Amino acid sequence: MNTFEELLSESTRIHGHICAGQVIGVRMSMLALSRIGIQEPKGVDRKKLYVIVEIDRCATDAIQSVTGCSLGKRSMKWLDYGIMAATFVNLDSGVAVRVTALEEARELSKKYCSEITDKYARQLEAYKIMADDELFRIEHVSVEIPPEDLPGRPLRRVQCSVCSDWVQDKRDVAVNGEILCRNCSAGRYYKKLIT
């Protein structure tokens, strides 16, 4: 695997700017990959890795950059929990760790870079050098990933009986004996306009 500096540079390029979230995501990924036995996440180990992210913030872009996992490849799952955490799973061995960025690290950044007065700049620099246990909590976990969430071809495709959209991978809902998409069963996130 590349060095921290190389991974951070690539992540920053993809994300569009450097920020503390990029540092957290890169370090979180490097730490987790070492703990679950993944050495080449974009190479020979690419089909062994699955990541579940719990936030849609900067760190997620860094995690994607380092691991090569993505929503489009179905090797990354996003759960909208609002927690700066991610779970990294070795699909071959079943070994998994959940890594959470510690909130206390924000205040602790003063210990490392007290001369930097801007708190965001201070956190960015401090997160680069803080000890792993000051920046993260690591939990060894067990994760059951349903077959319909794993990478690969869709397991099933069905047509919504109301709008005719095709629904893949068991995302359909049965209502009164009819197969519906989630938009038709629970309400749309959008409003159709008449043009």
- For residue 120, give every residue at least 6 positions away whose Cβ sits within 8 Å of its Cβ, in sequence order, or none: 19, 20
User: How far is it, in rounded angstroms, from Cα 102 to Cα 23?
Assistant: 13
Place of tokens 């495709």: 157
Q: Tell me if the domain spanning 4-147 has CATH number 3.30.160.20.
A: no
pLDDT number for residue 36: 98
Longest pairwise C-alpha distance within the chain? 66
Q: Tell me if the domain spanning 153-186 has CATH number 3.30.60.20.
A: yes
User: How far is it, in rounded angstroms, from Cα 60 to Cα 185?
Assistant: 30
When computed from its CA atoms, the radius of gyration of the chain, rounded to whole angstroms, is 20
Task: Work out whether strand 96-101 and strand 85-90 pair parallel, antiparallel, or are unpaired.
Answer: antiparallel
Q: pLDDT by residue (tens digit) across 60-112?
A: 999 999 999 999 999 999 999 999 999 999 999 999 999 999 999 999 999 99
Q: pLDDT by residue (tens digit) across 154-193?
A: 999 999 999 999 999 999 999 999 999 999 999 999 988 9
Q: Are 99 and 88 contacting, i.e. CB atoms less than 8 angstroms apart?
A: yes
Q: CB count, 10 Å around CB of 174?
A: 10
Taking residues 135-145, what's their average pLDDT?
A: 97
Q: pLDDT by residue (tens digit) across 31-52?
A: 999 999 999 999 999 999 999 9
User: How far is it, in rounded angstroms, from Cα 71 to Cα 175?
Assistant: 28
72 strand-pairing partners: none
Least Cα distance to 185 among 193, 171, 169 occurs for: 171
User: How far is it, in rounded angstroms, from Cα 150 to Cα 45?
Assistant: 15
Domain boundaries of the chain, sorted by first residue: 4-147, 153-186
Confidence of residue 195 (pLDDT cuts 50, 70, 90): confident
pLDDT number for residue 76: 97
Q: Is 41 helix (H, G, I), strand (E, B) or coil?
A: coil
